[in-house]
Chain A
Amino acid sequence: MDAYKLIVKIFVKDPPQLPADAFVPVFHSWIQNQLVADHLLIDVADYQLVHQGPGTVLVALEGNFSTDRADGRLGLQYNRKQPLAGSFADKLTAVLITTLEGCVRLEQEATLNGIRFGGDELVVRINDRLAAPNTKATFESIRGDLETLLAELYAGAPVELHHEPHAEKLLEVRIKSSQAVSTATLLERAKSLAALSAGN
């Protein structure tokens, strides 16, 4: 699998009451303070009027963050646009780290009423219908890499992977762990894994 257009979404737990435009000033402040490493931050786009849409989007050259509300569930989504080095597992780890860093940063935002992300649930998509058609075969081709990564992330706790082939939708894997883990812990583990891989 040589796709790099990976998407990771992490859900907000018990979403707090927030105005619809709460994320707009937050993302602008990320640009002002250049808070996202290795990203050329460009602009903020707001789609709050769109039903279950991307919400507020922080547009960067390398990839976009959005406060995605697909299926009515708020989460932070990172959508990689530019190539990444390494194996598929390396790319996925890198995208996961970027997403988790975003979650941790939002959790620290004073204006977001103590927003928390659930570390026990992830969605991974591959935004490339040609490289990764949404079939069982594609899923099987990435399953090993996913399981290895998840075993490290969740320290061996059982993890369920859910995939449904679909002729039109992007390949999507829903991941659920029985272990409640904070995003900060997940981030730490993902970073160790990346360091290990870089050392090899």
Chain B
Amino acid sequence: MSSANWKEKLTDRIPPDQAREIDNFEAQMLLRKAGKIEEKVFAEVRLRRGTYGQRYDNGQRHDGIRTRALAYQPLTKGPETMWDAPGMQRIKIPFGGLNPDQMKLLAELAEEYSDNILHITTRQDIQLHFVHIEEVPTIFRRLAAAGITTKEACGNSVRNVTACPLAGICRTETFDVTPYAKATAYYLMGHPDTQQFGRKFKIAFSGCRHEACSLVSLHDLGGIAVTRQVDGKTQRGFELYVGGGLGAVPYQAKLMVEFLPEEELMPMARAIGRVFARLGEKKNRNRARLKFVVAKLGIDEFKRVVMEEYQSMPEDNSWRRYFDEIPRYDEQPAFAAVQLNGQKRPNGFEEWAATNVYEQRQSGYAAVTVTLPLGDLTSDQMRKLADIARKHAGDHLRTTVEQNILLRWVPHNRLINLYEDLKAIGLAQPGAGSIVDVVACPGTDTCKLGIAASRGLAAELRKRLATQMASMDQAIRSLRIKISGCFNSCGQHHIADIGFYGNSRNVGGYTVPHFQVMLGGKWTDNAGSYALAMGSVPSKRVPDLVTRLTDRYLADRQGEETFQSFCGRIGKKQLKGWVDEFVKVPAHAEDPAFYVDWGDPRAYTIGDMGTGECAGEVISLAQFGFTAAESQAFEAQLLLDDGEFQKADEMAYSAMLEAAKTLVRQQNPDTPTDTPTIVGEFRTRFVETQLFWDKYHGNQFANYLLNRHESPDTRYTKDTAHKLVEEANLFIDASHKCLAKLQASMNVLEVPVLPKV
């Protein structure tokens, strides 16, 4: 079914600016299909909308016997990424907030465009896999109509802003960080100052210092809610942390400001974004996160630079619009609180309630964690869960960084019925936040960078541990296991008690899947400290190693000692000794099972790894701007073909403005984007200076824009519209030439950096 029909059907339900962005994406998709824009530019365009490549999209796969070419059509949608190959769509869920209507829509999308599975990520996003690129604009439109976006879900941008799923109902929070997370997410989304990063930028908000719900320490920017008394009044603010991150080189975020008043939060985030855009590495993606800037400058110098930026950056009061919404954020329970008294408790209820039910701050209410194995649920489960939520909890749900879903505001007297309803759809598994609730990134299942089967291992551990749960000591139960398919840490292995990340070793001429063992990471205190690497063990030995480690912990633990303290006391040497007992790989002839990975019977290979898209391409603002202009010119042509002459005229004009804006902002990135300013600046900077002057045509191309701006031809006939569409194309060509001239004269790099203010 063509996306045009969904477009028509949803036209009144999508905010116009979003509709336009999606049209733009679709036009760029068509241009790429026609070979009219570069693959790397389109790659960044789609990554910024969360449309990722997936394993095997480079057109080859080892089938267990040989590497086989996958005969996709030759067109690509990015470097080494075939057009036809199904990919992953990430959907941004700021602070994990979802309502039942949105859940139902997500269920429909997974059913119609994916493989009927919704996957919750460690950043509270939702991912669909095996999605065809041609269906992506329709997915965007259907999401937008339900108030969901994928904008900047990937690429070098501000990623999903996370927050404690318990925010607002937590017994230990200072205040509810939800509205701050929401405001920051939407303020920075698409903000001009966040468009020129060399790498992704992650933000989290936490309601208190000592819990782990939002893991501030591992973020580029994190805020912990704090208050202070000023003139007898309580003032809200944030402890502001910067420069944290996991990956191959993990860094703990550093405290930059002890008390940042709430009204300074968004401008400060913007200033930090501007500094990151200016000083962050652009060429070497391995050194391009903010953590490297902070480490290089030191926190004091970094703070000084940010404060200077904060004081001197051009005014932008748009944050006010979001800030003013904060006091209005109000979550009300759907049902009155009634205590659970004397109701008969079904089998399994107590065990489930002990791990999955959290007593809210608000008396008589509980929050219920729905545990999802490996973060997955089916469309049918999602739809029914939406109904269950509405029946027992109301509209306020959250995804969690532990890949689960949280129902909030469940009155106590509904817990038993809720449990029964969840059980009926297979979602009443106990063990939330326990050792069974293993977190795993996609790994070799779908990720191009995956080295070992993180999900396969997680599934195996989950199965084994679930059978032992009933007899397990509480100390073991409360441990956390997190697994990544490679060192990039998407499974957050650094902050687990027992963490793993995939690697490989060569044994007797065969490649053998392994996992690096990481012990003693601290999950609490907002991910207070990171785990120690203890060496690699073969993938197939990991479950036995987990048993050994937990047995030793139980046997040698002193008092209420945490696993982290236990590891510290026992010491690295002893821990390594335990791990080393599991490093041996039997010869292939002796046990070939070691030469395949969990959940995948093919002979193991690392030959299927591809080029990751996590980092995206660093595309200059000018490339983006011109691509957007070209896609508008293309859309104008389509409108013209459809006989929509006035709309074609307007779109062609808009395309010229976009190109002019791109040029103007090359010279001054802070130029306001309203039409009179852009045209005025274009005239001053490019026409009067003759930078736009063409050797053969003089000011002819510039006049196309100036004439349309000053005296539009309002007859809107086929001829007038056709003329303007042609002119728009010529204007964009001339803009390209002008930029080349400008760059040559200034001898600047292709990737411009924001000027120091």
A residues adjacent to B (C-beta < 8 A): 2-3, 5, 21, 24-25, 28, 31-32, 40, 42-54, 57, 59, 61, 64, 66, 70, 81, 127-131, 168, 170
Contacts and interface: CB of A to CB of B under 8 A. Distances in A.
Contacts of B56: 42-43
A130 B5 contact: yes
B599 interface: yes
A10 B729 CA distance: 54
A43 B59 CA distance: 12
Interface string B344-381: 00000000000000000000000000000110111011
A59 B63 contact: no
Given A48-B459, A53-B116, A127 B6 contact: no
Interface in B37-80: 55-56, 61, 63-65, 68, 70-72
B239 to A, nearest CB: 39
Contacts of B374: 49
B85 interface: yes
15 contacts: A3-B1, A25-B601, A28-B64, A42-B85, A45-B130, A49-B463, A50-B117, A51-B378, A52-B380, A53-B116, A61-B86, A81-B132, A128-B1, A129-B112, A168-B108
A46 B453 CA distance: 12
A124 to B, nearest CB: 15
B115 A59 contact: yes
A132 to B, nearest CB: 9
Interface in B219-240: none
B378 A53 contact: yes
B189 to A, nearest CB: 28
Nearest to B6: A130
Contacts of A129: 108, 112
Given A43-B55, A52-B378, A59-B130, A32 B63 contact: yes
Given A43-B61, A130-B6, A131-B1, A50 B373 contact: yes
Contacts of A32: 63-65
Contacts of A45: 115, 129-130, 445-446
B751 interface: no
B116 A28 contact: no
A46 B380 contact: no
A128 B117 contact: no
Q: Which 6 A-B pairs have the closest CB atoms?
A: A51-B426, A49-B373, A25-B601, A131-B1, A53-B378, A32-B63
Given A51-B426, A54-B117, A131-B1, 11 more contacts: A5-B1, A28-B63, A28-B64, A40-B70, A49-B459, A52-B381, A59-B115, A70-B378, A130-B1, A130-B6, A131-B5
Contact of A170 (B111, B377, B446, B599): B111
A21 B378 contact: no
B378 A50 contact: yes
Given A53-B116, A168-B104, A47 B376 contact: yes
B116 to A, nearest CB: 5
B627 to A, nearest CB: 28
A32 B61 CA distance: 11
A66 B115 contact: yes
Interface in B1-42: 1, 5-6, 9
Contacts of A25: 601
A47 B372 CA distance: 12
B281 interface: no
Interface string B404-434: 0000000000000000000001110000000
Contacts of B601: 24-25, 28
B11 to A, nearest CB: 14
A53 B117 CA distance: 8
Given A32-B63, A57-B115, A168-B383, A40 B71 contact: yes
A148 B245 CA distance: 62
B104 A42 contact: no
B569 interface: no
A52 B379 CA distance: 11
Contacts of A5: 1, 112
A75 to B, nearest CB: 14
Contact of B63 (A3, A31, A46, A54): A31
A44 B383 CA distance: 25
B670 interface: no
Q: Which of A81, A129, A130 has the most chain B CB within a 10 Å cutoff? A: A130
A64 B111 CA distance: 12
Contacts of A81: 132
A174 to B, nearest CB: 16
B610 to A, nearest CB: 13
A42 B86 contact: yes
A2 B86 CA distance: 23
B572 interface: no
A43 B445 CA distance: 9
Nearest to B427: A51
Contacts of B64: 28, 32
Interface string B375-396: 0111011010000000000000
Given A5-B112, A54-B116, A61-B86, A49 B376 contact: yes
B703 to A, nearest CB: 45
B274 interface: no
A54 B383 contact: no
B115 A54 contact: yes
A32 B63 CA distance: 6
B72 A61 contact: yes
A78 to B, nearest CB: 13
Contacts of B599: 21, 24, 46
Nearest to A21: B599
B264 to A, nearest CB: 45
Contact of B72 (A24, A40, A50, A130): A40
A128 B6 CA distance: 11
Nearest to A71: B380
B135 to A, nearest CB: 9
A119 B482 CA distance: 45
B366 to A, nearest CB: 23
A31 B104 CA distance: 34
B187 to A, nearest CB: 34
B84 interface: yes
Contacts of A47: 117, 376
B112 A127 contact: yes
Nearest to A50: B376
Contact of B378 (A3, A44, A54, A131): A54
Contacts of B9: 130
A59 to B, nearest CB: 5
B462 interface: yes
A59 B449 CA distance: 20
Q: Which of A43, A44, A127, A131 has the most chain B CB within a 10 Å cutoff? A: A43
B602 interface: yes
A129 B72 CA distance: 28
Nearest to A132: B1
B602 A51 contact: no
Contacts of A46: 445, 456, 459, 599
A44 B64 CA distance: 12
Nearest to A27: B601
Contacts of A170: 111
Q: Which of B65, B108, B377, B601 has the most chain A CB within a 10 Å cutoff? A: B601
A2 B2 CA distance: 11
A21 B601 CA distance: 10
B222 to A, nearest CB: 32
Nearest to A77: B116
A64 B63 contact: no
B465 to A, nearest CB: 13
Nearest to B71: A40
Nearest to B601: A25
B140 to A, nearest CB: 15
Contacts of B1: 2-3, 5, 128, 130-131
Nearest to B387: A168
A168 B373 CA distance: 25
Contacts of A66: 115-116
Contact of A49 (B111, B383, B462): B462
